[in-house]
Amino acid sequence: MTKQKGSSSSLLLVVVVLLLGFFGYKYYKTSQINRVKNEYLPKLLKKAINNDKIKFSFDSLKEVSGVYQFNLTINDQKYASYVSKDGKLLFPGVVKLEEETKKTEEQTKGTETKKLTCQDLNKADKPKLTAFVVSNCPYGLQMQRVFKTAIGELPALESYLNVKYIGAVENNKITSMHGDKEAQENLRQICIREEQSDKYWPYVSCYMQEGNNDQCLTNAGVDLDKLSSCISDKNRGLKYAQADFNLANKLSVGSSPTLILNDKQTVSEFDFGGRVANTIKDVVCCASKTKEDFCQTEISKTEVAASFSKTDTAAEGATSQNANCGN
């Protein structure tokens, strides 16, 4: 009886050891394949392709004949490929990387935006430069601050510059990319611009500091009854806003800020010196058939602050960046 009991215990021990070995090996294999999938293979492929413009992906990683097989997709073309188990050796399928690189460069060559020059700008007797913004976008605020600076240094520029807004009217309600609070501020600024134009820049100059609309309406001397009436009357406030949005849609404007010249031509301020006041003056002068006297005057090239800021000047060391909100 004792001998039989000992044999059973030995058999049970053997079974346990075999099971532990099986599951341990299975765990090891799963862990190894995950390591290759998540760590080694992405690095190997990136190094082998060595071109950020080529889009690639892989899937279906599995063990085949002592190596891992996977499907490598490059520019929508799929190749059966292999990688060693230690993740150190890559055996891609017949992928002519030079041809893929050339193909990608040819595809992207025609999409690069040509840098505009003064000669490329649409000319007018009195050009109109419009900044499309939304009121709480840090970079839209930055562009409004640039316009404010330009007008402050060259008051004659004000009649050449406009600010319009991006958004939509849905079911008689204004909307904006950053929610209702921004949409309502857009509408507030639009109504002031349209019906109390002399209060527009005093109000916006104050609003850009901390976003305190109540205090800024008082500081700028805005007629509150007239403003409230404009906002609540869909044939005034929403109608003004819709005109802005229609033009933005017509010109495929989707980001704040976007500069539009003469309601026709999209202009990048970074083609003419960056997001600074002197650039705004230069664009206006380049687009003018008859050069105004102020075109000979150089104004501020100092970077201005983005977002809400009690000071107009950007933090020390800041540089002009082609940043925006939206598309």
- What is the residue whose two structure tokens read 């800041």? 318
If asked whether residues 32 and 163 sit together in one domain, one would say: no
Which of 41, 71, 101 lies at the terminal end of a domain, its last residue?
101
The candidate with the shortest Cα–Cα distance to 326, out of 132, 161, 188, 128, is: 132
CB atoms within 10 A of CB 47: 9
Is 234 within the bounds of a domain? Answer: yes
Instruction: Tell me the CA distances in angstroms from 245 to 6, 127, 153, 166, 240, one per residue in order.
Output: 88, 21, 30, 6, 9
Distance CA 316, CA 109 (A): 37
Which of 101, 134, 156 lies at the terminal end of a domain, its last residue?
101
The candidate with the shortest Cα–Cα distance to 269, out of 71, 130, 77, is: 130
Query: Each residue of 301-310: pLDDT tens digit?
Result: 999 999 999 9
- What is the residue whose two structure tokens read 């929610």? 179
If asked whether residues 58 and 148 sit together in one domain, one would say: no
Distance CA 219, CA 196 (A): 14
If asked whether residues 129 and 248 sit together in one domain, one would say: yes
If asked whether residues 127 and 259 sit together in one domain, one would say: yes
Distance CA 248, CA 259 (A): 11
Is 113 within the bounds of a domain? Answer: no
| Inter-axis angle of helices 239-250 and 180-195, nearest 10 | 100
If asked whether residues 163 and 267 sit together in one domain, one would say: yes
If asked whether residues 40 and 125 sit together in one domain, one would say: no
Expressed as residue numbers, the domain containing 88 is 19-101
- For the record, the structure tokens of 123 come out as 């000319």
pLDDT of residue 80: 74
Q: How many domains, the chain?
A: 2
If asked whether residues 46 and 163 sit together in one domain, one would say: no
Is 112 within the bounds of a domain? Answer: no
CATH of residue 72's domain is 3.10.450
If asked whether residues 145 and 235 sit together in one domain, one would say: yes
Distance CA 327, CA 319 (A): 22
- For the record, the structure tokens of 26 come out as 């299975």
Secondary structure (3-state) at 113: coil
If asked whether residues 161 and 87 sit together in one domain, one would say: no
Is 284 within the bounds of a domain? Answer: yes
Is 1 within the bounds of a domain? Answer: no
Is 310 within the bounds of a domain? Answer: yes
If asked whether residues 213 and 308 sit together in one domain, one would say: yes
If asked whether residues 201 and 74 sit together in one domain, one would say: no
Distance CA 287, CA 322 (A): 22
CATH of residue 183's domain is 3.40.30.10
- For the record, the structure tokens of 291 come out as 């050069």
Q: Name the stretches of the chain with pLDDT < 50.
A: 3, 15-17, 19-21, 23-25, 94-95, 97, 111
What separation, in Å, do the N-terminal and C-terminal C-alpha atoms of the chain show?
A: 83
If asked whether residues 176 and 270 sit together in one domain, one would say: yes
Instruction: Note whether 134 and 325 are within 8 A (CB).
Output: yes
Q: Whole-prediction pTM value?
A: 0.66
Distance CA 321, CA 327 (A): 16
